Amino acid sequence: MPRPPIRTQGRVRLGVLALALGGFVFISGCDASEDSDLDRGRALFLQNCGTCHTLAQAGSSADVGPDLDAAFAQARTDGMDTDTVEGVVQQQIANPRTVEEGVPNYSDIYMPAELVTGQDAEDVAAYVASVAGIPGAKPPELPPDQLFTERCGSCHAFQAAGTAGTTGPDLDDALAGKDANFIEQQIVDPNSQIAQGYGPDVMPQDFGTSLTPQDIKGLVDYLMQNVGGGGGGG
């Protein structure tokens, strides 16, 4: 039987998360985030969770898993405090909810247990609890080098940034001799020209809307100036 569409998976998962939220409504928080590093939690979220979940403050808009802003906005309205949200997230990381057999491909549409563990899990949970469902939340403004590392470094190798991702092509090779227009087009419409050996839709398709024009220009300039270890682009 064919795999259900991604958006259907997201709806199924959101319902599953709603069950988890319901189970935690009456559990009081214990201020577990007091020793947590929220900046580190944000970086870990982007690396491990942002490719599946929407979270406005992280700048992620994937729909493989639940929209975390939507999932927790109503919970906050209903009186759930930040410590309790953190507890829900920690439980979901350790023991993701599943459903009974009968959902097509049910065994491979839910996130693996303990995607992060220990202090990493605490930092991620504390970060999500601090921003999920908060009206007006948006990503911080970052300089181009940090923005590249945050949004691109987990997938691409780039010598100047010290990144070694292999999900996408090595940018020192892929962008050598390319001009600014090509680089910008690849950011905002990555399927317009797909690197040899890679398939379509590997790179997020929403950078044209989730990044500001200033962010995009900054990334283009940064890549042009540093491709090949600083040898320049076109």
**Rounded to whole angstroms, how far apart are CA atoms 60 and 54?**
5
**Rounded to whole angstroms, how far apart are CA atoms 122 and 36?**
6
**Higher-confidence position of 202 and 9:** 202
pLDDT at 13: 45
**Rounded to whole angstroms, how far apart are CA atoms 44 and 50?**
9
Write the DSSP symbol of residue 52.
T
Mean pLDDT of 205-216: 88
Q: What is the CA radius of gyration of the chain?
A: 19
Domains of the chain: 6-131 (1.10.760.10), 144-230 (1.10.760.10)
Model's pTM, two decimal places? 0.66
Over the stretch 98-155, which tens digit does the pLDDT of each residue have?
655 555 544 445 678 888 999 999 999 999 999 999 999 988 889 999 999 988 988 8
Q: Which of 178, 172, 156 is nearest to 230 (CA)?
A: 172
pLDDT at 86: 95
Q: Which residues pair with 67 in a beta bridge?
A: 54
Q: How confident is the model at residue 14 (pLDDT cuts 50, 70, 90)?
A: very low
Q: Which residues pair with 71 in a beta bridge?
A: none
